[in-house]
Chain A
Amino acid sequence: MTGLEIVVLTGPASVQDRGRPGWQRWGVPEGGALDPFALAEGQALLGNGPDAAALEMPGAGGRFRARSALIVATSGAAMALTVDGVVRGWRETLALAPGAVLEIGAVRDGAVGYLHLQGGIDAPVELGARSAHRRAGIGTIPRPGDVLHPLGTGGAAGRALARPDCFDRRLIRAMWGPQSALFDDATRARFAAEAWTATPRRDRQGMRIAAAGGPLTADAGLRALSDAVVAGDVQVPGDGVPAVLLADRQPTGGYPRIATVIAADLPALVQMPAGARFGFRIVDRDTALAARRAWRRAIAALPGRVRAGGAALLHGANLIGGVVRGDEGEESAREDQDADRP
């Protein structure tokens, strides 16, 4: 017997990788990890390739049992974590002995956590990716009793990454889009100036955000001709409570979209717990591109930031501590955001 058995799942977990671009003209959602940065953290911790798939766990995880000796890693939103009852740190690699029970509880810092296996999770590739899409019946939605098998062997325990500062980001940059002009000046001004709150109404398709000043004005007759949707589009349905469209977004949409969250800031938005307050800042394309480049560089730099910081944990320490909490984020987008905060 090999692999990691799923004993209990307490959240809507699914297998996700980088997603399947290229099929949108056939009506297929791109899918993929809600937080691509967190996916990359797991690849860096285990030395996995960029195509490796992980178990995405929004809100809560579950109980897992190792059927063989395994190296696993966690990333994204920190969740309560124990191995055989001993508290362990997040964003680390862990060695599981055969029979070891891994318990992943509720999210404590962020919204979406990830569990990675050495080499990635062995799941069928459909339309070029292992990402699952629940409604479309594509890919793997694991259930209790299923066994997750690693595609690789070996690996090292005790490697760790620092908590990325995107969890603290509360100014989200967005660009006006092709349909922004459907909204009047006052509504666009409100969108840019409002105090927004992340709501619990969210899934892999999108997350609703609420304005302190109440719903945006949404003319019931305001329906654009359906066209293609991109990740981060902020759709304003009839009730005026916008939805930011995420990985499993519909490929086309008829509700007007007021703006588009830039790629570099989408993970920060996705990781906001319900109740988190934030603002939007409208930026131009050059600013969005600079932020994207910095974000891609930060992802590329992750393998070099992996530290052997978790070793002490094997002997009972609970927190990563200062060993790996250096200033890892000098290229993060936070600085320039704060500089521009109104």
Chain B
Amino acid sequence: MAAHPPSPSDGFPDIHAAGEAALLIRFGADASQPVRAAVAAFDAALRADPPPGTVETVPTIASVLLRFDPELAAPDRVEAACRDRLARGGWYDAPPPPGRRRWVWPVMYGGADGPELDPVADRAGLRPDQLVDAHAGRPLPVLMLGFAPGLAYVGGLGPAFDLPRRADIAAEVPTGAVLVAIRQTVLPATPIPTGWWRIGRAVARNFDPAADPPFRIGPFDEVVFEPVAAARAGGARARMAAP
């Protein structure tokens, strides 16, 4: 983690053209808290007052993509508008944007739902129940959504989860799989191939195209994993909690 917020001397933030119809604004090269704060605040600022021609903004771990229609707004002007905003400063110590939510996300750990709970615990020198304790029960930050619809990358895990991706790729893991590696949790909402370790299954799915809204966990939200026994999973519901 950076000892101090990234600064112009590190080259951040910087702006790059990503094709002729998008700009990528980068705030750092890691997932440190100041970088994530800057991404969240800048994304919120763009959404609150979109530059002309804005199509959408896509916040990720350390950057924000601004897609625009270059026939509605000249890229030079959009870029200048972004530079003006960046120059106002304060991004790296900005408070969380309004609207951030905390989700309680019930998970059935181990067993057939989480066949790799035991090997992951072994690698960490923990019992399976200790690994569950290290994963559940406290708010963890959503780093971004990506790869597939509704798939959330959740950070904030400790050294017990500092394990590499597996050498082999599982052809497909089921919807709701709870996957861990590199101190992150991934929550796929559709079946995906993966090289991450499957330790459980969530009772909720973060993508339902027929629902309104189709997604629940969003960028910059927080997630609290809640262990639930498989026998009681039918009664468990994902829900919002007061921060």
Interface residues, chain A, with chain B CB atoms under 8 Å away: 21-29, 126-127, 133, 135-138, 175, 177-178, 225-228, 230-233, 250-252, 260, 262-263, 285, 288-289, 292-293, 296
Contact = CB atoms under 8 A, between A and B. Distances in A.
B145 interface: yes
A285 B20 contact: yes
Among A23, A26, A262: residue with most chain B CB under 10 A:
A26
A228 B24 contact: yes
A293 B65 contact: no
B152 to A, nearest CB: 8
A260 B65 CA distance: 14
A177 B151 contact: no
B149 A27 contact: yes
A177 B17 contact: yes
B193 to A, nearest CB: 10
A285 B17 contact: yes
A177 B19 contact: yes
Interface stretch (B55-63, B87-95, B107-115): B55-63
B227 interface: no
Interface of B: 16-22, 24, 26, 29-31, 55-63, 65, 67, 70-71, 75, 144-153, 189-192, 207, 209, 214-215, 218-219
Contact of A27 (B61, B65, B147): B147
A6 B10 CA distance: 58
B216 to A, nearest CB: 10
Contact of A263 (B20, B150, B207, B215): B20
A262 B145 contact: no
18 contacts: A21-B55, A24-B58, A25-B58, A26-B145, A28-B149, A175-B20, A226-B153, A227-B61, A228-B58, A230-B65, A232-B19, A251-B58, A252-B146, A262-B19, A263-B21, A288-B19, A292-B70, A296-B71
B190 A260 contact: no
B209 A138 contact: yes
Nearest to A250: B147
A136 B214 CA distance: 13
B75 A289 contact: yes
A226 B71 contact: no
Nearest to B66: A228
A25 B39 CA distance: 13
Contacts of A178: 16-18, 24, 26
Contacts of B21: 230, 263, 292
B70 A251 contact: no
A319 to B, nearest CB: 37
Interface-central residue, B20, B30, B31, B150, by most chain A CB under 10 Å: B20
Contacts of B59: 25
Contact of A288 (B16, B20, B149): B20
Nearest to B209: A126
A27 B207 CA distance: 10
Given A178-B26, A230-B22, A252-B144, A26 B218 contact: yes
Given A26-B207, A135-B148, A225-B60, 10 more contacts: A26-B149, A26-B150, A26-B218, A126-B209, A177-B16, A225-B29, A227-B24, A228-B146, A263-B21, A296-B71
B150 A27 contact: yes
B92 to A, nearest CB: 16
Contact of A251 (B16, B24, B146, B207): B146
A262 B20 contact: yes
Nearest to A133: B149
Contacts of B55: 21-22
Contacts of A24: 56, 58, 65, 67
A231 B146 CA distance: 15
A158 to B, nearest CB: 34
- Counting chain B CB atoms within 10 Å of each CB, the highest count among A135, A233, A250 belongs to A135
A284 B22 CA distance: 14
Given A26-B145, A250-B147, A251-B146, A127 B56 contact: no
